[in-house]
Chain A
Amino acid sequence: MTPVVSLSFGTVHWSLSTVALAASVIWVLGQLLVMAMAWSRRRHCSVWRRWWVLGLNTWVTGVVLLLIAPPQLPDPHVGSVTLITEGATDLPADNTGYRLAGVSLEAAETLPLLHTPGQMLLRQPGTSQVQLVGHGLSAADWATLPSDLTLQWTPPELHGLTDLEWPTVLTVGDELRVSGLLRWDGGQSPLNLSLIDVSGRSVDTQTVLPGERFSLQALPPVVGPVEYAVQVLKDDVLLNSEPIASFVRASEPPRIMIWQSAPSFDTQQLSRWATDTGAQLLVRTQISRDRFLSQRINLSGDIAISLAPSLLATVDMMVLDGRQWLALGSADRSSLLTAVSEGLGLLVLMDAALGQAMVNDPSIGDVFGVALSPDVESPDAESPDIKSPDIKSPDNAAIERSPLQRGQLVTSTPLPPVPVSPWSMTLTGGAQTLTIDDRGEVLEAWRQQGLGRVAVSRLRDRFRWATSGAETAFSRYWSNLLATVARPSVTARLQPLSTPTDLRPFERLQICADNPKQQPLSVNFAALSLSSTSSSSSVPSAPVPLIAPTTGGSVACGFLWTAESGWHALTLLDGEGSAIEQLNVRVWGGDEHQPDRFARRQRATREAIQRSQSISQQRKGDEFAPINPWWLWGALLAGIVPLWLERRLLSGRQSDANVS
Chain B
Amino acid sequence: MSLNNTSPNPVLMGNDSAHNRYHQPVSLASLLAQLKKRLWVQAALGSLSVGLVVLALSTQVMGHPMPILGLGSVLLTLGFHAIRYRPLRWTTATFAQYLNRRIPALEESAGLWLLPESSLTTLQRLQRRRVAAIWDELEQSSQGWLPPVNVREPLGVLAVGLVLAGTYALLALDSKPSDGVLAALDKPVAQDQALASPSLLRIHVEPPVYTHLPAFTVTEADVTVPEGATLRWFYRGDQLSNWQLVLSDAARRDRRFKLQQAANKQDAGASMAGHNANSEAGASAVASVDATSLYYLAPSVGSGNDDYSPTVHSIRVTLDQPPRIRVVTPSNTRVEFAKNAEPLFDYAVTIADDYGVTEVEIRASIAKGSGEGVKFRDARFVFEHSRAIDEGVLYEQHWDLRDLGMTPGDELYLFTRAYDNHPEEPHTSRSDTVVVRWLDEIPEIVGEDGLAISVMPEYFKSQRQIIIETEQLLADKPNLSPQVFVATSRALGVDQGALKERYGQYVGDEFGESEAPQGLIDGPVTASGSNNDGNPSGDHDDHDGHDHGADDGHDHGVGTSAGDDGLFAKGEALMARFGHDHGAADIGPISRQSPVGLMKRALANMWDAELHLRLGDPQTALPFEREALRYFDLARKAQRIYTQRLGFEPPPISEDRRLTGDLTDVQSKVRAQQATPDSNTKAVLANTYRWLLSTPDNRVFSTSELALLESATAVLTDEAEARPGFIRAAALLTQLVRRGRMDFGDCSDCRQVLQQTLWSALPPLVVPAGQALRSQPNSLAERYQARLQQLRQGAK
Of all chain B residues, the one with the shortest Cβ separation from A304 is B670
Whether B770 pairs with A173 at a CB distance below 8 angstroms is: yes
State which of B673, B756, B766, B776 has its C-beta within 8 Å of the C-beta of A516.
B776
CB distance from A475 to the nearest CB of B (A): 4
Whether A483 pairs with B770 at a CB distance below 8 angstroms is: yes
Supposing A197-B759, A489-B773, A552-B780 touch, asked if A222 and B768 sit within 8 A by C-beta, the answer is no
Supposing A290-B663, A297-B673, A552-B779 touch, asked if A274 and B696 sit within 8 A by C-beta, the answer is no
CB distance from A553 to the nearest CB of B (A): 5
Whether a CB of chain B sits under 8 angstroms from the CB of A479 is: yes
State which of B666, B686, B693 has its C-beta within 8 Å of the C-beta of A221.
B686
Whether A488 pairs with B775 at a CB distance below 8 angstroms is: yes
Whether B766 pairs with A254 at a CB distance below 8 angstroms is: no
Give chain B interface residues in 644-690, CB to chain A under 8 Å.
Answer: 661, 663, 666-675, 677-678, 686, 689-690
Supposing A516-B776, A532-B696 touch, asked if A254 and B765 sit within 8 A by C-beta, the answer is no
Whether A483 pairs with B773 at a CB distance below 8 angstroms is: yes
Q: How large is the interface on B (under 10, 10 to 19, 20 to 34, 35 or more residues)?
A: 35 or more
Give chain A interface residues in 10-31, CB to chain B under 8 Å.
Answer: none
Whether A535 pairs with B672 at a CB distance below 8 angstroms is: no
CB distance from B177 to the nearest CB of A (A): 11
Give chain A interface residues in 462-493, CB to chain B under 8 Å.
Answer: 471-472, 475-476, 478-479, 482-490, 493
Give chain A interface residues in 550-577, CB to chain B under 8 Å.
Answer: 551-555
Whether a CB of chain B sits under 8 angstroms from the CB of A278 is: yes
- CA distance in complex: A224, B762 (Å): 13
Whether A273 pairs with B772 at a CB distance below 8 angstroms is: no
Whether A275 pairs with B675 at a CB distance below 8 angstroms is: yes
Give chain A interface residues in 334-368, CB to chain B under 8 Å.
Answer: 343, 345
Supposing A487-B771, A530-B697, A554-B776 touch, asked if A293 and B668 sit within 8 A by C-beta, the answer is yes
Q: Which residues of A contact B214 (CB under 8 A)?
A: none
A 582-621 to B, binary, CB cutoff 8 A, 1 in contact else 0: 0000000000000000000000000000000000000000
Whether a CB of chain B sits under 8 angstroms from the CB of A225 is: yes
Main secondary structure of the interface of B (DSSP, over half): loop
Whether a CB of chain B sits under 8 angstroms from the CB of A296 is: yes
Whether a CB of chain A sits under 8 angstroms from the CB of B695 is: yes
- CA distance in complex: A471, B755 (Å): 26
Whether a CB of chain B sits under 8 angstroms from the CB of A288 is: yes
- CA distance in complex: A528, B695 (Å): 10
Main secondary structure of the interface of A (DSSP, over half): loop
Whether B668 pairs with A221 at a CB distance below 8 angstroms is: no
- CA distance in complex: A292, B695 (Å): 52
B 134-157 to A, binary, CB cutoff 8 A, 1 in contact else 0: 000000000000000000000000
CB distance from B716 to the nearest CB of A (A): 14
Whether a CB of chain B sits under 8 angstroms from the CB of A316 is: yes
Q: Which residues of B contact A451 (CB under 8 A)?
A: 776-777
Whether a CB of chain A sits under 8 angstroms from the CB of B763 is: yes
Whether A273 pairs with B757 at a CB distance below 8 angstroms is: no
Of all chain A residues, the one with the shortest Cβ separation from B691 is A224
A 244-279 to B, binary, CB cutoff 8 A, 1 in contact else 0: 000000111110100000000000000011111111
Whether a CB of chain A sits under 8 angstroms from the CB of B698 is: yes
Whether a CB of chain B sits under 8 angstroms from the CB of A298 is: yes
Q: Which residues of A contact B675 (CB under 8 A)?
A: 272, 275-276, 278, 297-298
Whether a CB of chain A sits under 8 angstroms from the CB of B774 is: yes
Whether A294 pairs with B768 at a CB distance below 8 angstroms is: no
State which of B670, B698, B771 has its C-beta within 8 Å of the C-beta of A489.
B771
Supposing A451-B777, A530-B696 touch, asked if A483 and B772 sit within 8 A by C-beta, the answer is yes
Q: Which residues of A contact B771 (CB under 8 A)?
A: 251-254, 316, 482, 486-489
Whether A253 pairs with B765 at a CB distance below 8 angstroms is: no
A 500-540 to B, binary, CB cutoff 8 A, 1 in contact else 0: 00000000000000101000000000001111111101000
Whether B668 pairs with A294 at a CB distance below 8 angstroms is: yes
State which of B666, B669, B690, B764 has its C-beta within 8 Å of the C-beta of A223.
B690
State which of B669, B673, B765 has its C-beta within 8 Å of the C-beta of A219.
B765
Whether a CB of chain A sits under 8 angstroms from the CB of B212 is: no
Whether B674 pairs with A528 at a CB distance below 8 angstroms is: no
Q: Which residues of A contact B455 (CB under 8 A)?
A: none
- CA distance in complex: A553, B677 (Å): 40
Whether A276 pairs with B780 at a CB distance below 8 angstroms is: no
Whether a CB of chain A sits under 8 angstroms from the CB of B769 is: yes
Of all chain A residues, the one with the shortest Cβ separation from B693 is A225
Give chain B interface residues in 776-794, CB to chain A under 8 Å.
Answer: 776-781
Supposing A201-B760, A276-B678, A554-B776 touch, asked if A220 and B666 sit within 8 A by C-beta, the answer is no
Whether A296 pairs with B673 at a CB distance below 8 angstroms is: yes
Of all chain A residues, the one with the shortest Cβ separation from B697 is A531
State which of B674, B689, B696, B778 has its C-beta within 8 Å of the C-beta of A552.
B778
Whether a CB of chain B sits under 8 angstroms from the CB of A440 is: no
Whether a CB of chain B sits under 8 angstroms from the CB of A287 is: yes
- CA distance in complex: A173, B773 (Å): 13
Whether B776 pairs with A294 at a CB distance below 8 angstroms is: no
Whether B773 pairs with A554 at a CB distance below 8 angstroms is: no
- CA distance in complex: A488, B697 (Å): 40
Whether B672 pairs with A287 at a CB distance below 8 angstroms is: no
Q: Which residues of A contact B777 (CB under 8 A)?
A: 451
CB distance from A346 to the nearest CB of B (A): 13
Give chain B interface residues in 569-597, CB to chain A under 8 Å.
Answer: none
Of all chain B residues, the one with the shortest Cβ separation from A303 is B672
Whether B669 pairs with A294 at a CB distance below 8 angstroms is: yes
CB distance from B663 to the nearest CB of A (A): 6
Beyond the given pairs A295-B670, A475-B768, 6 more chain A to chain B contacts, judged by CB atoms under 8 angstroms and listed by A's residue number, are: A222-B689, A222-B765, A274-B769, A294-B671, A537-B694, A551-B780
Closest 10 pairs between A and B when the two form their complex, measured CB to CB: A251-B770, A173-B767, A275-B675, A277-B768, A276-B677, A199-B760, A475-B767, A198-B759, A224-B690, A274-B769
Q: Which residues of A contact B (CB under 8 A)?
A: 171-173, 197-201, 219-225, 250-254, 256, 272-279, 287-300, 316, 343, 345, 451, 471-472, 475-476, 478-479, 482-490, 493, 514, 516, 528-535, 537, 551-555
Of the A-B pairs whose beta carbons lie under 8 Å apart in the complex, a sample of 19, sorted by A's number, is A171-B770, A198-B755, A200-B756, A221-B762, A222-B759, A272-B675, A276-B678, A288-B666, A291-B667, A297-B675, A316-B771, A345-B772, A479-B769, A479-B770, A529-B696, A532-B696, A532-B697, A534-B696, A555-B775
